[in-house]
Amino acid sequence: MHPAYVTCVCTAAYGLMKLAQALGANALADKDPLPPDLRQRLLARDPLFVASHWVLFTVAVVGVVVALATVRPWGRRFPRRILLTAAWTAGIFMIVRSFGPVGFGFIGDALVLTGLRPPPPQHAAPARELARWDLMLWSPFFLVWGLSWTATARRLTRTVRGERKTGAGGGRAGGTAAPPR
């Protein structure tokens, strides 16, 4: 399977979760690794968080289009540099988030769970629970999602280089053409 399709599935799953949250569903919102004050605002459906869910849903829709544009014939209409920049940026961002050198992620979660970075005592139990959820769900998801974006970008990079060598593609955007039916 082409990595762009894995990217589409991950992006659509995330987008649908954000849509559900924007429409009022919990949809794992209580497992979102946020500081306590922000988490309370999220669960109370603060208008800023509701708006952010709509924005993230919209970004996910754009992400699905970008991922598909790397492999579908209609994607040749998009400038390749934009597709490559979007794919590499999303992939690297998500991989960095999954490891969490500055917060949640494999590293941050391990530090919280081992006590090397203890949370404030009044928030210790919820912080450990959220770190477990992040370690078991969110960080692996972001890692797979980020790796699929970088694999999509790498595959598109190879396609672009191949077209430059052969003179195919006319310098237009997109990815490999689908085989004729």
| Position 134 in a domain | yes
Question: How many domains does the structure of the chain reveal?
Answer: 1
Query: Which stretches in the chain have pLDDT values below 50?
Result: 170-181
- Cβ burial 144-156 (10 Å sphere, 16+ → b, else e): bbbbbbbbbbebb
Whole-prediction pTM value?
Answer: 0.85
| Position 65 in a domain | yes
| Position 155 in a domain | yes
**Locus of tokens 């450990």:** 128
User: In sequence order, what are the residues at sequence separation of 6 or more whose Cβ sits closer than 8 angstroms to the Cβ of residue 153?
Assistant: 70, 84, 87, 88, 91
Can you tell me whether residue 72 is helix, strand or coil?
A: coil
| Position 114 in a domain | yes
Helix (H) or strand (E) holding 29: none
Q: Which two tokens stand for residue 82?
A: 């934009």
CA angle, corner 89, sides to 84 and 93, nearest 5? 155
Q: Which two tokens stand for residue 28?
A: 């794992």
| Position 178 in a domain | no
Please tell me the distance from the alpha carbon of residue 122 to that of residue 134, in angstroms, as a whole number: 20
DSSP state of 159: H
| Position 88 in a domain | yes
| Position 124 in a domain | yes
Please tell me the distance from the alpha carbon of residue 139 to that of residue 84, in angstroms, as a whole number: 24
Contact 51, 144 (CB under 8 A): no
Range of the domain at 71: 3-171
Contact 83, 75 (CB under 8 A): yes
Dmax of the chain from CA atoms?
A: 64
| Position 78 in a domain | yes
pLDDT of residue 176: 44
